[in-house]
Amino acid sequence: MAIRSFTGSNNGKIPGYAIFRLDQLPFLPRSEGLFKAILPYGDFDLSKKLNQNTGTYLIPAYLNEADPSFDMTKEGNISLGANYQAYQLGMRIDHSYPDGLSNTISICEKYARCTGGNPLVGLADYQIGFHQETDKIGRPKILYNPYLRRATFADPTYDDVLPVSKGRETKSSIAGKIFQIKPALDQCDYRLPQTPFETMVTCMMDGSVQLLNRRISPAVFWAQVTPDIGD
């Protein structure tokens, strides 16, 4: 409902995410991203803060109580991932989804953090947190295992697993990958969505809910990630 209220109040505009590139430094594009942008448009409880120093909110609607990775004493304040492919800057609810709103994934479950040096999940679009180093001649480079990342999946800003389309067929950029079912924390792969349940709960762009089981084919799952391939 909050997403629909946002688009209705903004002439069909979708709260999108920008791609971040080093050649844009220090003038990175700024956008609030989905989960922060819709806060004024829904009945969200903003009475609690996760981190008093940063002012990071703990929002119950964004927390999956079954998420085994959540820790109130640490960064990482959301157990959901927005589908970057469906929430890019400039997209509109009325013409950016020719595959159909009911056929395009909006949000998946996602662990708030993965162990083993993998990233935490941040709330806002600007919480990117790349580890930056320089190459042999002093040019900056990005290590794609950030210490803090935004709450997305299929996001080319990182080394996420992405949909790769050829004609009307869509596959994953890493063969066979879809999402993780009840992974142990040391097996959590930040490049994918995770669920602590036996099925992945997804919200579609039309607001409907789908339950995806582990037997779903990668072609079907990634076709639902893409909004405009015709698959």
Domain count, the chain: 1
The answer to whether residue 87 is domain-embedded is yes
The answer to whether residue 230 is domain-embedded is no
Q: What is the pLDDT of residues 78-117, one digit of tens each?
A: 899 999 999 998 899 999 999 999 999 999 999 988 865 4
The answer to whether residue 231 is domain-embedded is no
The answer to whether residue 171 is domain-embedded is yes
At residue 142, the pLDDT reads: 54
The answer to whether residue 205 is domain-embedded is yes
Which range of residues forms the domain containing residue 9? 2-225
Q: What is the pLDDT of residues 164-218, one digit of tens each?
A: 988 778 889 999 999 999 999 889 888 899 999 999 999 999 999 999 999 999 9
The answer to whether residue 41 is domain-embedded is yes
The answer to whether residue 46 is domain-embedded is yes
The answer to whether residue 158 is domain-embedded is yes
Q: 55: phi > 0 → left, psi -120 to 50 → alpha, else beta; which?
A: left
- pTM assigned to the model: 0.87
